[in-house]
Structure formats: structure tokens, C-alpha cells
Structure 1
Amino acid sequence: MLRGSILPETKPVYLLPKEKNSCVLISDVIILQCLFVFVGASTIIFCVWTPEHSTEDYDKLARIMYLYDPLACGYNLRGSSSITTLQLSNETHGLNLRPIKYTSAIITVSTKLSSKTRNYINLSIFIHVIWLIVACALRILRFAKKLRILVLTLNATFYVTVFVILFDISMAIVYIAHVQQSLTTGMILRLSGWGVEMKLKHFDNFGGWYPMVASLCWLRGIIIFIINIYMATVILFMLRRLRKSEFKKKLNLRENLPIPDASYDLNLKNNVLYFRAGENEPIVMNKPFERSYY
């Protein structure tokens, strides 16, 4: 057996069977989340949550605050036709006073919260489309034989998942700040511009529950949010193991190079040193008669 045929053992770096099962589970969870988001977002995009026929206060306020945008859905809010105003006489009775000019009351309609929610939903749909594509790629390419393709797929899944987590946190912070605009249910009704269209049974109840629930929905009910963090952690551990295995493979090849076969260099045969027993200095055999004598 030639020495050059003795090579160090080089096993290909693949995902373990347990890791492949984890990839399937992660991709299934991501696909289900995306489908739920698409269904929920479509109800807002296609104006399903119209508050015209709602009866309960909580249902009305949830729809007019976040779920239904009248400007995007083509719904014209009516202006007020009967607003009582205090009219003061302009008679100054000879005093040095500036008279008050009478102006009619003006109602402003603001659908800022529902309009922004619609924009955020459109952005969320775009992000979840990318997340869905990455999850499908992870499910298909988990059997990839090329390490570069496998690492690229895991990296894409990890970074997109982290981006979704950060996006959910930012949206939750934005919506929890809406508590300042919803201290009472009457404040929500006035700021939304629906004060003429509908009435509430209780105007003084606390209305901060609505932005709190909206913030909780952006965090996917906390439980799914924690699951997403766990999935990102599992993918990170897979990447670390693959990189560690690949590093060990390269180190093994570098430290255990194949043993070369013996070779004879004919160019050096005239400069060989010969040693005699008991002599401390070698004798160089360069002359032809010396080589023939010995």
C-alpha cells in the first residue's frame, strides 16, 4: 500500500436527523403564522370591519380606531347639521371693546390611527411574504448536500426571523403609545370623527384597553412571540454546529496531511556523505576512483 493512499477521514458536513426534523417544524410554524396574518390582513384591506351595524361599544370602538379606514374604503363621514354654539352680541355700548366675529363651528374628521394601521398592515404583508418564501426554502433545502447552500438557507431564515421579531416589538411600542389618545371612550369617538355617525352607551369608560390589545396582537399573543425567539435560537445553534464541524474538517486536513512516498533524487547521488565506523568526520566521495574503491 502506498503511503499517498493513506488519507485522513473526511466526512461531509450535513444536518443531523434531529436538526432536519426541527427545520420541518420551524418551517411549518412560520407557514401557519403567515397564513393567519394574510387572512387577518385581508379583512382590513377589503374593508370587512365596517362599524355601521355594530351595536356594542367595544365592537364600535375597535372598528373605528384600527380596523376600518373610511377614507381608503370610500365611506363619507357626515358632517354635523345641528351643533349648538354660544352666540354673543356684538354691541359694545360705547365701550372701547373689539366686537366678537361670529363663525360657525367646524368639525374635523381624523382617521389617522386607522389609516396608519392600514399602512402597517401592508408592510407586514410584504415582510411575511419574504418570511414564507424563506420557510419553504428551508423545508426543501434541508437535505442539501452542498454546505454553502445549507448555510445560506439557515442564515436567511435566521435573519428574516430576527427581523420579524424586531418589527413586532417596534409595532407593539408604537401602539402602546396610543393610550394617550384613548383615555376615555368618548375621546376615541371624538378623535376618530365618528361622533356624528354613532353614539356610545358610556362615554367616560377607560379606553386604553384598545391600544393595549392592539399591542398584544402585534406581539402575537406573547406565546407565539416567544416561540419565534426560540426558533431563531435553534437555527443559530444549527449554524454554530455546522461551522464548528467544517472548521474541524479543515483543521484535520491541514494537520494530518498524507505521508509522501519515498523518492530518489538522481541529481544528488554524487554528493552523498559516507560515514565509517569510529570516524567523527564524514568523507565526501567526489572522485571517480574513490567511488570505485569504496
Structure 2
Amino acid sequence: MLSHEVIPPEKTIVLLPKDRKASGCICNYFIVQCILVFVGASTIQYCLWSPEHATHDYDKLARIMYLFDSQACGYNLRASRTISNLQLSDYTGGLDVLPIKWVPAEVTVSTRLTAKTRRYIELSIIFHVIWLLVAIGFKLMRDISSERFLKIGLGAFFYTSIFMVIFDLSMAIVYIAHIQQSLTKGMILRYSGWSVEMKLKNPDGFGGWLPMAASICWMRGVVFLAINIYCCRSIRGIRGRIKRREVKRKLILEEKSPIPEAKYEEPWDDKVLYFRTGEKKPFVRKPYRPLFFE
């Protein structure tokens, strides 16, 4: 049997039916998730969370703290006129004492949390667009016959999903740190600049629930984040099964190597004894030298 008859035909590594179905469900889940993020982000970008008609305290505070950027949406906050400056006399009575320097009172100190949220939302939209394109691309190339492009697409899909999980966790940590600026509801009004525009029923109440809620939203309600992590683990398992099948195929070819073709090679040693079948006297093979004088 010749070698070309022994070597098994080259088979392209494709997804197993179970892996193909699982990867399709994961792609659909990520695509729907990106679309929902785009819808939610558009409500913030187009200033649909105006606090003018809000009635409850936490509804008002959530809008002015994260959802409604007054500067980007063109809403002019009124300046406060209810605080008068305390002026002290600089008369020292002839003593060698420096007078107290007069400084105007600072009414509003804005930390611009809504502006930062708006920038984070824009950055998140860019990342989700990339994630959406990668998910759609891998969904379309699942049946591709090229082993190389299938592995590249699966790797890009896996690492993009891992990056989005890490991005959500990092933003959740950033927002949970805002509790120090929102210990009370009055602090949120004072730092956001809405102390004149809005009144609260209980300004001394705890306002740290808002950063906690924002952190949970960036973690996609925790439940969806856990599903995303599970999906990343499933994609990693698909990559591992493809790699194990590839290694197994190479090992089979190495262990069961084909019979090589017969090739004639000149012996490098001219002092070797050769026997033919039925001969008792060995024949010494000598190198061929042409006899020019015969």
C-alpha cells in the first residue's frame, strides 16, 4: 500500500453541532444585550430624564446626579440668592494683628457627575458597537470552512466579551466610590448645583442608595453579568475542544505514520558485503570505474 493511500484526508476543524447551537445562542444574547444598552444610552444622550416633572426624592436625585446633564442639555440653573456673605471689620485697634481676608461665600460646588456619566456612556457605546460587530461577524462565519478564520473569529469573540465584563466591573467600582459625595440627599443637591431649583421632603436622609444603584446598573443587574461570565466560560470551552481535536489529529498522524515510498539510494560504504538469495559466497560490491584502456 502506498503512502498516499494510507494518509487520511485532511479534515477542516468545524464546530460540533452542540457547540454551533450554543455559540449561536450566545451571539443572539449578546446582540440583544447591546441593542438594549443602545436604547437606554440614547435616553440619556437625548436628555429625556428632565427632573422638572419628577415627584419623589430619589427620582429627582437620580436624574440630577446621573441621568440629566444640565449643561449638555442646555438647562440654565438659577444662581442662589438666599445666602448672604458675612463681612467682618478689618479694624485691629492698633494691634499688630493681620485682618481677616474677606472671601465671598461659595453657594454651589458642582462635581459634574452627570457630565462624567455622559462621557462614560459615550465610551460604553463605542465598546458595545465593537462587541455587536464581533458577535454578528462570528455568527455569520460559524459555518466557514477555513480553519484559520474560524479560530481567529472565535478568539476575537472571546477576548471582546472578556473585555466588556472587565469594563463593567471597573465602572461599577468607580460609581460605588461616589457614596462619599452623597451621604445625605442635601449633599447631592449642594454638589450638583440644584439647591435652588429643587426642594426635597427629607434632605437629611441617606443618599448613598443612588451610587449603589448606579453600580448595580453598570454590572447589568448582577444577574446579567453572571450570565455574561458564564457565556465567556462556554466560549472558552468551545475553543478548548477545537484545540484538543486539532492536537489529537496531529498525534494520530505521528503515531501511525504512513509507509514510505521505496527509493533507491547509493550506499555510502563500498566495503559492504551483499548476499543474494541462494548464494553462499558473498559478493563484494566495488565502485564503478570506467576502463578507458580495455
Cα distance, 1:27 vs. partner?
0.5
Hey, what does 1:273 align to over in structure 2? Answer: 274
1:118-197 → structure 2 map (5 Å cutoff): 118-197=118-197
CA distances 1:201-258 after superposition (whole Å, capped 9, x unpaired) = 1011000000000000000011100111111111111111111211222232333332
Give the structure 1 partner of residue 291 of structure 2: none
Amino acid corresponding to residue 47 of structure 1 in structure 2: C
CA contact (8 A) 2:185 2:204 kept: yes
Residue 253 of structure 1 corresponds to which residue in structure 2? 253
| Matched residue SS, 2:201 | coil
Secondary structure of the 1:151 match is: helix
* C-alpha distance 209-277 of structure 1, shift in aligned 2 (>3 A): same
Q: For the residues of structure 1 that align with 2:124 and 2:89, how far apart are their CA atoms? A: 56
Q: 1:276 to 1:194 in 2, by over 3 A?
A: closer
Contact 2:66-2:117 within 8 A present in 1 as well:
yes
Return the alpha-carbon distance in structure 2 between the equivalents of residues 98 and 6 of structure 1: 102
Q: Name the counterpart of 1:53.
A: 53
SS in 1 for 2:157: helix
User: Alignment partner of 1:20: what SS?
Assistant: helix
Q: Please give the residue correspondences for 1:9-28 in structure 2 after superposition, counting only pairs within 5 Å.
A: 10-28=10-28
Partner amino acid, structure 2, of 1:273:
Y
Q: Secondary structure at the match of 2:13?
A: coil
TM-aligned CA distance change 1:286 to 1:170, over 3 Å:
closer
* Structure whose residues are more often helix by fraction: 1
- What is residue 74 of structure 2 aligned with on the other side? 74
Equivalent pair of 1:80/1:107 in contact (CA under 8 Å)? yes
Q: Which residue of 1 is the match for residue 234 of structure 2? A: 234
Given that residues 273 and 282 in structure 2 are in contact (C-alpha distance below 8 angstroms), is that contact kept between their aligned partners in structure 1? no
Cα gap change, 1:158 to 1:286, in 2 (>3 Å): closer
- Relative to the length of structure 1, the TM-score reads 0.87
Q: Structure 1 residues 253-262 or 174-183, which shifts more?
A: 253-262
State the match for 1:290 in structure 2.
none
8 Å contact kept, 1:273–1:283:
yes
For residues 232 and 170 of structure 2, the distance between their equivalents in structure 1, rounded to whole angstroms, comes to 18
The aligned residue for residue 244 of structure 1 is: 244
Q: Match for 1:223: what amino acid?
A: V
Relative to the length of structure 2, the TM-score reads 0.87
Q: Which runs of 5 or more structure 2 residues have no equivalent in the other structure?
A: 288-294
State the number of aligned residues.
284
SS at 2:53's partner residue?
coil
How has the CA–CA distance of structure 1 residues 59 and 3 changed in structure 2, closer, same or farther, with 3 Å as cutoff? closer
